[in-house]
């Protein structure tokens, strides 16, 4: 009953914001809407498509043709149901994350039992009980349903709601051992936003773990299914556009080349505003390599036994370093963090990170108003806030990874240490 009330309350809050006088403000906020996901641009693309004008000829529309056709149908047939549709998609996303965390709990319990013999006697108090583990799913659900980032993202009716849903389905499919579901939906999410391609690595590991057998064969099948699915979505998109692949430049090309430097919560826009044009290609490549490739191999080598943690980390990193991030991306990964609640006592920067999130979230709209409307600030002020926000996210994910390593070490070697021949003991916060 309590869970049903959560869904009902979260849905009512989202619908109230959509139908309130604040909707226009929310939908146009730079923290929420970007050139890739904004409702205004989606409407414009649908209008052009409806009048037999290629929406990809200009620089206004950057969503995939599949999403274009879907929303063209919905806007023509049932436009009044769109707020409800966005709300339902967001609630289903929350439910899928809840189910994913349930499966993760079972995986974690099995792993804990299998490694019990390697745990030091004095560290057995760190082992989690069933009652502690059962709370995790409720925390995941609550954080997604009532996180301001998720709520405002849904209320702004951004297409990030769709992307979050696709990624949630893929994660649920992977943890449930459903290879086709995971591959088809992560391919569709990649087709929409490109950066979810990073999740093919943890999904491959998860599916190999869930479907016992030859790991190499499992990896090959997963990647083959993914490539075929992605190719299918690309072909369908070209078919929608009368056999033309010109849309690729205004979707993938737009994401990779970052031609529009409208301010957002990321780090690309300010850097490339100040960049000399003849250095631009070099730094675009450097930034995109950082976002898409740099961390995958080392993190996979270190956390290959924890694919869910690996997926969480890669989602956070892609959110921080993608070219057009938004609040909805942040809200999605924040719902995954409670799955690692047992690591919080090993984290050193919890208070600092929490304060940084709260302060930058409040300062962002304030500084934007001072810059754009009052004229008493400039772009440096707003970039300072977005840079602090990105730093807080980096602190969060590095602290979480260090906490995992510290807990792993403590379970194996115990609390007690000797420093310069004197006994020392680990103090949990």
pLDDT bin (cut points 50, 70, 90) of residue 258 is very high
Q: With beta carbons less than 8 A apart as the criterion, state whether 198 and 296 touch.
A: yes
- Please list, in sequence order, all residues whose beta carbon lies within 8 angstroms of the beta carbon of residue 129, skipping any fewer than 6 positions away: none
Q: Is residue 429 part of a domain?
A: no
Given this model, what pLDDT does residue 112 score? 84
* Residue 165: inside a domain: yes
Mutual orientation of helices 327-336 and 307-321 as an angle, nearest 10°? 160
Q: Does residue 418 form part of some domain?
A: no
Sequence-ordered list of residues with C-beta below 8 angstroms from that of 416, at least 6 positions apart, any chain: 122, 423, 424, 425
Instruction: Output the pLDDT for position 100.
Output: 95
Which positions ≥6 away from 3 have C-beta within 8 Å?
138, 141
Q: Is beta strand 416-419 parallel, antiparallel or unpaired with respect to 422-425?
A: antiparallel
Domain that holds residue 198: 2-340
Share the mean pLDDT of the chain.
Answer: 91
In a domain? residue 410: no
pLDDT at 105 over 70: yes
SS3 127: coil
Q: At what angle do helices 215-240 and 179-193 cross, to 10 degrees?
A: 50
- Quickly tell me which residue has 């809840």 as its tokens: 98
Q: What pLDDT score does 220 carry?
A: 93
Write down the pLDDT at residue 72: 95
Q: Is residue 396 part of a domain?
A: no
91-100, 127-136, 264-273: which range is least confident on average?
Answer: 127-136
Residue 152 falls within a domain, yes or no?
yes
396-417 confidence digits (pLDDT tens): 999 999 999 999 988 887 776 6
Core vs surface per residue 233-251: b (16+ CB within 10 A) or e: bbeebbebbeeeeebeebb
Q: How far is CA 5 from CA 58, 183, 211, in A?
A: 45, 33, 36
Percent of the chain past pLDDT 70, that is, above it, reads 96
- pLDDT per residue over 211-232, tens digit each? 876 678 899 999 999 999 999 9
pLDDT band, residue 242 (cuts 50/70/90): very high
Buried b (16+ CB within 10 A) or exposed e, 59-77: ebbbbbbbbbbebbeeeee
Residue-wise pLDDT tens digits, 316-371: 999 999 999 999 999 999 999 999 998 998 999 999 999 999 999 999 999 999 99
Residue 167: band (very low, low, confident or very high) from pLDDT cuts 50, 70, 90: very high
Q: Is the residue at 415 inside a domain?
A: no
Would you place residue 427 in the very low, low, confident or very high pLDDT band (cuts 50, 70, 90)? Answer: low
Q: What is the pLDDT, as a whole number, of residue 385?
A: 95
Query: pLDDT tens digit string along 279-297?
Result: 999 999 999 999 998 999 9
Note whether residue 398 is domain-resident. Answer: no
Percent of the chain whose pLDDT exceeds 90: 79
**Could you give the number of structural domains in the chain?**
1
pLDDT at residue number 426 = 57
């Amino acid at each position: 009953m309590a869970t049903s009330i959560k869904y009902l309350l979260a849905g009512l809050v989202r619908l109230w914001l959509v139908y309130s006088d604040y909707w226009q403000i929310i939908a146009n906020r730079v923290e929420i809407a970007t050139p890739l996901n904004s409702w205004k641009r989606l409407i414009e693309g649908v209008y052009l498509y409806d009048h037999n004008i290629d929406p990809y000829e200009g620089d206004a529309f950057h969503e995939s043709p599949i999403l274009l056709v879907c929303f063209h149908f919905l806007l023509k047939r049932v436009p009044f149901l769109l707020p409800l549709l966005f709300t339902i998609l967001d609630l289903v996303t929350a439910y899928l994350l809840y189910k994913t965390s349930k499966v993760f709990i079972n995986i974690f319990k099995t792993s804990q039992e299998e490694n019990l013999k390697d745990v030091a006697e004095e560290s057995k108090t760190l082992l989690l009980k069933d009652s502690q583990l059962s709370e995790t799913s409720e925390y995941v659900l609550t954080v997604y349903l009532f996180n301001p980032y998720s709520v405002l993202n849904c209320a702004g009716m951004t297409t990030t709601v769709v992307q979050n849903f696709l990624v949630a389905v893929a994660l649920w499919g992977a943890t449930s051992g459903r290879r086709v579901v995971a591959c088809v939906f992560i391919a569709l999410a990649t087709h929409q936003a490109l950066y979810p391609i990073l999740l093919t690595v943890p999904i491959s590991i998860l599916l190999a773990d869930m479907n016992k057998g030859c790991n190499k064969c499992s990896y090959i099948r997963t990647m083959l299914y993914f490539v075929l699915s992605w190719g299918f979505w690309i072909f369908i998109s070209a078919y929608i556009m009368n056999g033309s692949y010109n849309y690729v430049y205004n979707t993938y090309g737009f994401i990779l080349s970052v031609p529009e430097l409208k301010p957002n919560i990321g780090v690309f826009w300010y850097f490339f505003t100040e960049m000399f044009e003849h250095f631009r290609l070099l730094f675009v490549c450097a930034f995109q390599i950082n976002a898409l490739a740099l961390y995958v191999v080392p993190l996979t080598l270190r956390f290959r036994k924890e694919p869910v943690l690996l997926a969480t980390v890669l989602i956070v990193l892609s959110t921080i370093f993608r070219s057009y991030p938004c609040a909805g991306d942040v809200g999605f990964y924040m719902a995954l963090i409670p799955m690692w609640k047992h690591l919080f006592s090993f984290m050193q920067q919890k208070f600092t990170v929490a304060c940084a999130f709260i302060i930058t979230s409040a300062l962002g709209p304030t500084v934007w108003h001072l810059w754009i409307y009052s004229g008493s600030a400039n772009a440096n002020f707003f970039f300072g806030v977005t840079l602090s926000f990105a730093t807080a996210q980096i602190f969060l994910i590095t602290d979480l990874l260090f906490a995992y390593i510290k807990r792993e070490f403590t379970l194996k070697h115990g609390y007690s240490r000797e420093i310069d021949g004197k006994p020392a003991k680990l103090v949990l916060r």
